[in-house]
Amino acid sequence: MPYRLGELFCGPGGIAWGALHADIGNPEFSIIHQWANDYDADTCATYRRNICRNAPETVYHGDVRTLDMDQLAPIDALAFGFPCNDYSVVGEQKGMDGHFGPLYSYGVRALRQFRPQWFVAENVGGLRSANGGNALTKILDDLRDAGYIITPHLYKFEEYGIPQARHRLIIVGIRDDINVKFGVPSTAPYAGIDNSCRTAIEVPPIPANAFNNEQTRQSEMVVQRLEHILPGQNAFTADLPEELQLNIKGAKISQIYKRLDPDRPSYTVTGSGGGGTHIYHWAEPRALTNRERARLQTFPDTYEFIGGKESVRKQIGMAVPCRGAQIIFEAILRCFAGIDYETTEARINE
């Protein structure tokens, strides 16, 4: 029987797409959607449209803190990409003391209530240093205490053929009364893949009628600034005329007006976009469209994001790359199916 998946903090469906498309050649080892929850209305609408169009009632829009878990159907697997706002290195890093920090505990609660056979939890790499490292220690201890053997690993998705340098801490847990051991999938099978952002965005060309492909209008000053910035450079490393330089004191974020290097994976796609933090095309003086950003996150062109342009940009930036999630779910399915595959040592440090 397929594994019934429940999701908390489901986002627009990057994890779900990877789960539902995980294929190890045996239909008995597959994953189906059971239910999902997210606090953002547009995000839930996107998830319903693309993941469970025929069962929209299985996506519960609302704050997880007020979600009645007793109304949710039984599950065999749980995924929760608990909010990263308080753990990100771009921000105040409040960790457990922040508004979002303790939300992981609702994932732990779901594990205790539903006792799924396995789970996948995802967060930013900055979680490792939050609260002096104590936040991660507390989270891992709570997941173990819920009854799971856990394998935390810092996945560098560009090493798995994804056209984006995106580093995420992902924890796979298997219930401790099940005699199955998870192994982190090796990056070796993906070594020869062309994961340049040029190939991701241009091959094949984005269809003229693709969803979410509207261009962002750039001011004349931004256009002039970008014309002085070479591929791979940003506003602080480029040779800009004085009138185009940014008057910023203190920290100089490397992604400000940074143009992509077409021959390399993209830098990290984020949900922000103001103040020069869009991702900028290597040849044209403009920000990427949301569809181009979605390609860097390996969403198919048929994936339709619901909401205004700003909402869609945020959804795409907060997602897990579809194909990256698929690789991890296929590794889990192989473990349960008893199929050997190439693994690598689990590590949480760079």
How far, in Å, are 136, 140, 153 from residue 183 at the CA level? 20, 17, 10
As to burial, measured by CB atoms within 10 angstroms (0-12 exposed, 13-18 middle, 19+ buried), residue 123 is buried
Query: Catalytic residue among 10, 44, 52, 84, which?
Result: 84
Using DSSP bridges, classify how beta strands 59-61 and 77-80 pair: parallel, antiparallel or unpaired: unpaired
* Closest C-alpha to 216, from 93, 308, 107: 308
What is the 3 state secondary structure string of the chain? Answer: CCEEEEEECCCCCHHHHHHHCCCCCCCCCCEEEEEEEECCHHHHHHHHHHCCCCCHHHEEECCHHHCCHHHCCCCCEEEECCCCCCCCCCCCCCHHHCCCHHHHHHHHHHHHHHCCCEEEEEEEHHHHCHHHHHHHHHHHHHHHHCCEEEEEEEEEHHHHCCCECCEEEEEEEEECCCCCCCCEECCHHHCCCCCCHHHHHHCCCCCCCCCCCCCCCCCHHHHHHHHCCCCCCCCCCCCCCHHHCCCCCCCCCCCCCCECCCCCCECCCCCCCCCCCCCECCCCCCECCHHHHHHHCCCCCCCCCCCCHHHHHHHHHHCCCHHHHHHHHHHHHHHHHCCCCCEECCCCCC
- Residue 335 known to be catalytic: no
53: amino acid identity, one letter? R
Please identify every residue annotated as catalytic. 84
